[in-house]
């Protein structure tokens, strides 16, 4: 039998988020990351041998992005993010090459690691989770 949930007592200036409330999106729609589909040894987008500064920049960007709401990342016009959905017909690739990709990927997406030095992170969203597939350090996804 489920126990009753009683929120802790707070003063009137403290806001308590009830974990049972699916409509309170103040904390639930932040971007989350998954590396389940990360292509470590991809012929074009593999990242073995990259410098430490590359990975420090990647982790720093992921940390920053994880503090954004999903809608902020998807639809922000802040140039520094270099974020946008990808149309495969504009790229050097036809797809990610994942099993059952047509059922997994609605629209591929990318955001920048840094200005131009470290390329882009490319993947796709399922709900608020961004699945990282490629680390495109050399901007190769748009080479044709």
pLDDT digits (tens, 9 = 90+) for 82-123: 899 999 999 999 999 999 999 999 999 999 887 667 789 999
The answer to the question of residue 138 being in a domain is yes
pLDDT digits 0-9 by tens, 52-80? 988 999 999 999 999 999 998 998 877 77
The answer to the question of residue 7 being in a domain is no
Q: Which of 51, 26, 139 is closest to 92 using CA atoms? A: 139
The answer to the question of residue 127 being in a domain is yes
The answer to the question of residue 15 being in a domain is no
Q: How many residues does the chain have?
A: 144
Number of domains in the chain: 1
Question: What residue numbers bound the domain in which 83 lies?
Answer: 32-142
In whole angstroms, what is the distance from residue 70 CA to residue 128 CA? 6
The answer to the question of residue 111 being in a domain is yes
Percent of the chain with pLDDT over 90: 48
pLDDT: is 61 or 49 the higher one? 61
CA 110 to chain centre: 8
pLDDT: is 104 or 16 the higher one? 104
In whole angstroms, what is the distance from residue 119 CA to residue 54 CA? 9
pLDDT at 6 over 70: no
């Amino acid at each position: 039998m489920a126990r009753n949930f009683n929120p802790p007592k707070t003063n009137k200036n403290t806001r308590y988020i009830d974990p049972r409330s699916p409509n309170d999106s103040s904390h639930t729609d932040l971007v989350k990351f998954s590396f389940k589909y990360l292509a470590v040894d991809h012929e074009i987008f593999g990242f073995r041998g990259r410098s430490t500064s590359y990975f420090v920049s990647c982790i720093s960007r992921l940390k920053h992005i994880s503090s954004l709401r999903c809608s902020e990342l998807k639809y922000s016009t802040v140039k520094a993010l270099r974020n946008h959905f990808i149309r495969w017909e504009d790229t050097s690739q036809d797809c990610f090459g994942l099993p059952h990709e047509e059922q997994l990927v609605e629209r591929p997406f990318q955001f920048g690691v840094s200005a131009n030095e470290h390329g882009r992170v490319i993947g796709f969203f399922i709900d608020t989770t961004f699945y990282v597939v490629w680390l495109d350090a050399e901007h190769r996804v748009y080479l044709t």
